[in-house]
Structure 1
Amino acid sequence: MDDMIRVNEQWYVNASSSRADARTRVLKHGESFALFDRLGDILPVGLGEQGLYHEGTRYLSRLELDVDGQQPVLLNSAVSRDNQRFSVDQTLASTPHIAEDTVHLRRTKTLWHGVLYERITAKNYGNDTITLRLGMTLDGDYADIFEVRGNTRPQRGTGLEPSYGEREVCLGYHGLDARLRHTRVRFDRAPQSVEPHEAGHRLVFVLTLSPHQSQALTITVACDTDDTRQQVHDFDAVMQAHETRKDRDYALIGALYSDNEQFNEWLNRSAADLHMLVSETSHGPYPYAGVPWFSTAFGRDGLITALQTLWLAPDLARGVLGYLAATQSTTENVGKDATPGKILHETRDGEMARLGEVPFRHYYGSIDSTPLFVVLAEAYYARTGDRDFIENLWPAIEQALAWIDQHGDIDSDGFIEYEASRHGGLIQQGWKDSADSVFNADGSDATGPIALCEVQGYVYAAKLGAARLAHLLGLTHQAEQLQAQAERLRQRFDEAFWCDDIGSYALALDGNKRPCKIRSSNAGHALWSGIALPSRAARLAETLLNDKSFNGFGIRTVAEGEARFNPMAYHNGSIWPHDNAMIAQGLARYGQHAAAVRVITGLFDAAMHMEDFRLPELFCGFAREPGQGPTRYPVACSPQAWAAGAVFHLLQACLGLHFSADAPRLRFDHPLLPTWINTLEIRSLRVGHAVLDLALARHENDVSVNVKRKQGDIQVSVLV
């Protein structure tokens, strides 16, 4: 399994064709997502990841429309700004019976509770009656998401014989996990014929259109399991349900509006992506990590996304904390990298995970999710003052703290470390979890156990945050202990990790406590967490923002000139938006406000070159060229939750926004806006029981804040 992980990561980098080239279109709702090409079809092209997926399995691997055996001509295709529907406009090339550009086809798709809905509308703009033979070819391979990613299985389940009704085709698969999965395809009119096809099953529908007449064909594709049969609704009713849900869900993010329309596009696309990626759980909303590879609950990703959006959407943080507390490990399981108190890394529900072919059904192989859980808990209280929730969460917080001290610190040296999984899990267990991401200055692998730079900072922030919560709950002695532990950790961290010769904290300490002297973005997280000594901040900021690290669009994961630097590598020279946003907030924390503005400016420039202003999971770290955008990373997830959340984190960093639940109080600490934003409105910002509308204006050296509306008791202050 170690080789399997390595093979996947190598496969990522060496892919011969990419999703960036294929320009796929994405829909997601709940436990389902779909990837289409620009024509609205599902085809085995590029990396072969197109399809309709549900609970980690591909239920539809082909869905292809033709008219009289010919592919229609694409006019335009786009996913709506709210990510709820995908529309494709097409026409037909001329034939002996149909003049060119006289037929318009509109395909409209949406997802709702495990069902794909599609309406195909054909309109005849000509002056003669025409007959169209619409062919629909479909098939389902029931591939597990890990198979789609490139893993080979020695055995698979059994495909079932398709069944046909007057207006229905049902495909099926009996998995090795003894689960039955069915793809139930229904039409609102009967096909004229069902024809054998080398790519699956081809159904033909005949539409006769008088001059200027239009007709529609509606198709639904339900993803059923042996214990769940999806309910299929009317197409128009589903579209209305989306509108109702949108009106409710947009309160999750709030409203931001600037005088820069391009920045507004970035904000709006990011907000819509977050809404799409959020799934409802029994504990509240949870942002799934990304499409296509990570459309499930990830601990680290969910925690960071919740931190990014906490100032606007505290309910999301509450949902993440509730879910992760409920799935916190209570036992030791070596195969799952689980020990008591540890917070989940990821969960999967596909066939391979159910069978244990991959260890990710409930997998705990991340070193940082547990301290980040405590960090988010304290930040959530500071934002909301929700003491009742914290009291209920406190046992999980105490278990997380116990894990840090008892299981996280492998060799009892005061730092938390990890060793490579020996049972098929991850080799590296920080956020840079590719197998080659931790190395020495000469390029050799660092031997474990590994103590990552940023993780010590997370532990520092967790202990300080837990101390504040302990004080809140009247646990004075425990609070004092946690405070003292944090202070000792900060001093020891500086002594062990600071490398004056590279002007940065080391990437990590290896198993012999030798520093991996690599200039990396990890060190910037020491600013975010506050563990960095103030005397190091200016030097570290200079290292992070010089030409070796900052390429004009963002801070590279590894600086140019380091042994394994590769601008095309997943973690060794690429640029990750969430990483940059965390660093920007760290820079602002230490008074490096201009540097934080430089980071948001670089990512804004990157977003302007991206389709739909959507920042992907990562992009390549090549030097910026005049007039050119960043180079796409071949198989980056897009949308990705913490990439979507980055803009909100960056904006909070520039504005120096801080909340206090005690007053309640909102403080702007030396706010700045980039030169390309003159005014910014924050509408309907809820703080406790109060609601605020704020108008911000940029001046030469500062930002003014005008309270346009205030309902309820709250203090607003600006520190300049």
Structure 2
Amino acid sequence: MTQLDERKLDPAIALASLDETAPREPHRLFALKHGDSFAVADAYGDIRGVGDGFFRDDTRVLSEFRLTVGGRSTSLLGASLSQDNVLFTTNLTNLPIESIGGRPIPQGAIHIERVRLIWQDRLYERLTLSNYSQEHSSLRLSLRFAADFRDMFEVRGSTRPKRGTARTAEIGKNTVMLRYEGLDKVERTSAISFSQVPDELTAERADFFIAVTKRSRKTLYVEVGTEIADAPERERFRAAAARARFGMRAKRRHGATLHSSGRVFNDWIERARADVALLTTELATGPYPYAGIPWFSTAFGRDGVISALQMLWLNPGLARGVLGFLAQHQATETSPFSDSQPGKIMHETRKGEMTALSELPFGRYYGGVDTTPLYVHLACAYADRTGDMESVDALWPSLCAAAEWIETASQPTGFVTYRRAAESGLANQGWKDSFDSVFHADGRIPKGPIALVEVQGYVFAAFQGLAKLARLRDETEKAEAWEKRAEEIRQRVESQFWIEELGYYALALDGDGEPCKVRTSNAGHLLYVGLPDPDRARIVADQLLSASFSSGWGLRTLADDAIFFNPMSYHNGSIWPHDTAICAAGLARYGIRDNVVRLMSGTFESAVHFNMRLPELFCGFTRAPGEAPIAYPVACLPQAWSAGSAFMLMQACLGLQIDGWTGEIQVTRPRLPIGIDNLVVRHLAVAGASVDLTFQRVGDRVGAFLADRHEGLVPLVVRS
């Protein structure tokens, strides 16, 4: 087993071995991001150097950043992120300490506010001390700092036989420059600058003797960047904050918005929208949602595609950016190390030292079996949403190359299969990529090549969509071939994956064609693409909604009677909000909309318990009265496809589709979330027009209508 596999089995293992006292509750950590830089700290604003830190280009450039007052840690009053995710603020107070002169200062006399932001690869912090006692106080404020310049994969648990060289720190009057030269001969720096000259300054600590008269305040500014800052001060901090907020506001303006009659529900929707905006990075090819913080703050193929699908009805521009980036990085050669083959779509890209040296294959890695058909499906769904044939034409060579790879990967079994080409790659290459996430009912790990059930569904959708686009391009021969291929896949899945005694689809077929007779949420993805016949879809839906899968908070990834079921595992019984949302969209496709409303309600209530932010995953324990959902120790938070789940679930409830070819809004048997009587979709772009669409509860029915005043004429078709 490789180290990578061990981390996928349980990402908590590597971190737990480093520091048992470290914070491991993601909903109690706070993340900031801009571009390819992000910071994760605890509620005190401290960085402790386990999974947290300030990272730039997949390298940790600040591994410790701790505040003490009077030689002691502080007492936490409260911490929060601004609604737009730009500013982190924590409010602290002193524990009982002594002044510099030895006079006791009681607890709660000094208020300390830390405000932090990231802008253009630079971390800005403002520290404000306010004295609410009746005495003048002189106290020691200390900041302890370090930069270990560890690659992200080292932070995640990988070990290296050799590292680069840490240079001697350069200490100035009010600055410290930390340097590291990697084995790749790239120098990485962390420059720490203070607004006032410390009374004592070393390579690892700055001490300030601060006199705070009664009822007064003192402010200190700190900056951490690649270069020494001009003296940090109030105007620099304010200017950076203003630019960061303006940039975030511009990102949040893209696409339609939702507003409901529920105040708390609106808070969730606004936080989800802000998280998608936070994780979206403007690349040369357009906006791209990075997967999640801290472990996956980079472009992932699968995550980017699914996030774009979740947001497609509201913001098709995100899909256009994802498609552009993935087309640009499509594989053109065969490489076992990177698992690439011509036409294959990228799984992951990284910028750190270890990938630059090819110690790991993830600099540009293609070991995702589902990313290529999902990419094609997104392109087809984008075309249906927008009618944008110009973009389709530009992507057409890439889409044809992807289709050719799918055909090649389907030989000789007729199904798209995977088997890693090198030991350094991922053993499992679907979205459940833990080493034990694919198994037989008796616990045997199947030998490859493996055909996952949901992947065949994505292939079915890809060929269906391509056939439609080919007809629009007057490429009749290709259209007919792809239509035939889609139907062949549908029939083969129905005949070879359906397990009559289970009344369910197998998780996978192994290299001998033996089905893995395990009930998983993967089958729900078949409903999403519309592959099963209605009778089987209803049987699958009934099981997904049973107590074996449905916890009350969401859908488990694995039925609770499976041999490897563990509600605390990464993939074998936990709850992934994006997975629940995809299954819910599948239920809605087959008209099972009332149950979608219940799934929406459970997901919303989970978000409330997680401070309005859905983590990457959480534990799959059955909901009990008065109890909250249980966090998974090292889940990413925020995570793009978890945030996007709110919008996929909402679309499934509303039964809303937009036909970009006819410029028509179609609403089928709409439902509103529990407790919501009114919902407005504002600035919905349809065929060049911008409309406001209102859903209103009237008795036990929900009506939909367009606002009287909108830009352009858009047909609305409502089916009850």
Does TM-score exceed 0.5, indicating one fold?
A: yes
Q: Which residue of 1 aligns with 2:207?
A: 204
CA distance in structure 2 between the partners assigned to 1:132 and 1:542 by the alignment: 65
Q: Is the 8 Å Cα contact of residues 615 and 638 (structure 2) preserved in structure 1?
A: yes
Q: Is the 8 Å Cα contact of residues 97 and 130 (structure 1) preserved in structure 2?
A: no
Number of aligned positions between the proteins: 706
Any stretches of 5+ residues in structure 1 without a counterpart? Answer: none
Shift of 1:701: 4.2
Shift of 1:8: 1.5
Which sits farther off after the overlay, 136-145 or 203-212?
203-212
For the residue of structure 2 that corresponds to 1:252, the secondary structure is coil
The within-5 A match list for 1:563-582 is 563-582=563-582
Shift of 1:682: 1.1
Task: Supply the AA of the counterpart residue of 2:703.
Answer: S
Q: Which residue of 1 aligns with 2:283?
A: 281
Shift of 1:700: 4.4
Deviations 1:190-219 (A, max 9, x none): 112214xxxx61111232233322221111
CA distance in structure 1 between the partners assigned to 2:588 and 2:399 by the alignment: 28
CA distance in structure 1 between the partners assigned to 2:227 and 2:512 by the alignment: 53
Q: Which residue of 2 aligns with 1:511?
A: 511
Task: Supply the AA of the counterpart residue of 1:362.
Answer: R
Q: Which residue of 1 aligns with 2:115?
A: 108
CA distance in structure 2 between the partners assigned to 1:398 and 1:10 by the alignment: 36
Q: Is the 8 Å Cα contact of residues 367 and 420 (structure 2) preserved in structure 1?
A: no
Q: Is the 8 Å Cα contact of residues 537 and 590 (structure 1) preserved in structure 2?
A: yes
CA distance in structure 1 between the partners assigned to 2:132 and 2:175 by the alignment: 31
Shift of 1:387: 1.6
Q: Is the 8 Å Cα contact of residues 8 and 433 (structure 2) preserved in structure 1?
A: no
For the pair 1:328 / 2:330, whether they are aligned, the reply is: yes
CA distance in structure 1 between the partners assigned to 2:697 and 2:26 by the alignment: 39
Q: Which residue of 1 aligns with 2:160?
A: 153
Which sits farther off after the overlay, 451-460 or 12-21?
12-21
For the residue of structure 2 that corresponds to 1:543, the secondary structure is helix
For the residue of structure 1 that corresponds to 2:710, the secondary structure is strand
Deviations 1:239-258 (A, max 9, x none): 11122113311122432111
For the pair 1:345 / 2:354, whether they are aligned, the reply is: no
Shift of 1:691: 0.9
Q: Is the 8 Å Cα contact of residues 664 and 713 (structure 1) preserved in structure 2?
A: no
Shift of 1:21: 7.2
Q: Which residue of 1 aligns with 2:436?
A: 436
For the pair 1:29 / 2:34, whether they are aligned, the reply is: yes
For the residue of structure 2 that corresponds to 1:477, the secondary structure is helix
Deviations 1:259-308 (A, max 9, x none): 22222122111111111111111001111001111111000000000000
The partner residue of 1:310 within 309, 312, 315 is 312
Shift of 1:446: 1.3
Shift of 1:97: 4.8
Q: Is the 8 Å Cα contact of residues 84 and 245 (structure 2) preserved in structure 1?
A: no
CA distance in structure 1 between the partners assigned to 2:588 and 2:535 by the alignment: 15
Shift of 1:385: 1.9
CA distance in structure 2 between the partners assigned to 1:399 and 1:595 by the alignment: 39
The within-5 A match list for 1:680-691 is 680-691=679-690
What root-mean-square deviation, in Å, do the aligned CA atoms of Structure 1 and Structure 2 show?
Answer: 1.9
CA distance in structure 1 between the partners assigned to 2:586 and 2:9 by the alignment: 32
Deviations 1:318-352 (A, max 9, x none): 11000000000001011100000000000011111
For the pair 1:190 / 2:189, whether they are aligned, the reply is: no
Deviations 1:525-553 (A, max 9, x none): 00001111222111111111111111111
For the pair 1:605 / 2:610, whether they are aligned, the reply is: no
Q: Is the 8 Å Cα contact of residues 689 and 713 (structure 1) preserved in structure 2?
A: no
CA distance in structure 1 between the partners assigned to 2:218 and 2:475 by the alignment: 70
Q: Which residue of 1 aligns with 2:412?
A: 412
Change over 3 Å in CA distance of 1:356–1:646 after alignment to 2: same
Deviations 1:664-683 (A, max 9, x none): 11111111123322111111
Any stretches of 5+ residues in structure 2 without a counterpart? Answer: none
Deviations 1:380-399 (A, max 9, x none): 11112222111111111011
Change over 3 Å in CA distance of 1:645–1:508 after alignment to 2: same
Change over 3 Å in CA distance of 1:337–1:106 after alignment to 2: same
For the residue of structure 1 that corresponds to 2:168, the secondary structure is strand
The partner residue of 2:179 within 168, 172, 175 is 172
The partner residue of 1:126 within 133, 141, 159 is 133
Shift of 1:404: 0.3
Q: Is the 8 Å Cα contact of residues 261 and 677 (structure 2) preserved in structure 1?
A: yes
Q: Which residue of 2 aligns with 1:672?
A: 671
Deviations 1:387-435 (A, max 9, x none): 21111111110110010002x21x4222110113433000000000001
CA distance in structure 1 between the partners assigned to 2:311 and 2:63 by the alignment: 35
The within-5 A match list for 1:484-495 is 484-495=484-495
CA distance in structure 1 between the partners assigned to 2:571 and 2:95 by the alignment: 46
Provide TM-score, normalisation by structure 1.
Answer: 0.95
**What fraction of aligned residue pairs are identical, expressed as a percent?**
44
Q: Which residue of 1 aligns with 2:91?
A: 89
Shift of 1:100: 4.1
Q: Which residue of 2 aligns with 1:537?
A: 537
Q: Which residue of 1 aligns with 2:548?
A: 548
Which sits farther off after the overlay, 392-401 or 670-679?
670-679
Deviations 1:686-717 (A, max 9, x none): 22311111221124443101212321131111
For the residue of structure 2 that corresponds to 1:615, the secondary structure is coil
CA distance in structure 2 between the partners assigned to 1:154 and 1:290 by the alignment: 28
CA distance in structure 2 between the partners assigned to 1:97 and 1:549 by the alignment: 58
Q: Which residue of 1 aligns with 2:525?
A: 525
Shift of 1:23: 1.7
Task: Supply the AA of the counterpart residue of 1:34.
Answer: A
Which sits farther off after the overlay, 411-420 or 554-563?
411-420
CA distance in structure 2 between the partners assigned to 1:167 and 1:212 by the alignment: 28
Shift of 1:445: 0.9
Q: Is the 8 Å Cα contact of residues 67 and 133 (structure 1) preserved in structure 2?
A: yes
CA distance in structure 2 between the partners assigned to 1:664 and 1:500 by the alignment: 43
Task: Supply the AA of the counterpart residue of 1:435.
Answer: F
Q: Which residue of 2 aligns with 1:52?
A: 54
CA distance in structure 1 between the partners assigned to 2:461 and 2:124 by the alignment: 46
Q: Is the 8 Å Cα contact of residues 22 and 37 (structure 1) preserved in structure 2?
A: no
Q: Is the 8 Å Cα contact of residues 129 and 209 (structure 1) preserved in structure 2?
A: yes
For the pair 1:42 / 2:47, whether they are aligned, the reply is: yes
Q: Is the 8 Å Cα contact of residues 54 and 223 (structure 1) preserved in structure 2?
A: no
CA distance in structure 2 between the partners assigned to 1:701 and 1:74 by the alignment: 47
Task: Supply the AA of the counterpart residue of 2:47.
Answer: I
The within-5 A match list for 1:217-366 is 217-223=220-226, 234-366=236-368
Q: Is the 8 Å Cα contact of residues 42 and 63 (structure 1) preserved in structure 2?
A: yes
Q: Is the 8 Å Cα contact of residues 667 and 719 (structure 2) preserved in structure 1?
A: yes
Which sits farther off after the overlay, 516-525 or 464-473?
464-473
For the residue of structure 2 that corresponds to 1:698, the secondary structure is strand
Deviations 1:344-365 (A, max 9, x none): 0000111111111111000000
CA distance in structure 2 between the partners assigned to 1:581 and 1:700 by the alignment: 27
Shift of 1:91: 1.8
Shift of 1:38: 1.0
Change over 3 Å in CA distance of 1:99–1:437 after alignment to 2: closer
Q: Is the 8 Å Cα contact of residues 26 and 635 (structure 2) preserved in structure 1?
A: no
Q: Is the 8 Å Cα contact of residues 13 and 570 (structure 1) preserved in structure 2?
A: no
Q: Which residue of 2 aligns with 1:117?
A: 124
Change over 3 Å in CA distance of 1:22–1:81 after alignment to 2: closer
For the pair 1:401 / 2:400, whether they are aligned, the reply is: no
Q: Which residue of 2 aligns with 1:647?
A: 646
Provide TM-score, normalisation by structure 2.
Answer: 0.95
CA distance in structure 2 between the partners assigned to 1:303 and 1:286 by the alignment: 9
Deviations 1:471-495 (A, max 9, x none): 2222122112111111121112101
CA distance in structure 2 between the partners assigned to 1:264 and 1:674 by the alignment: 12
CA distance in structure 2 between the partners assigned to 1:701 and 1:511 by the alignment: 51
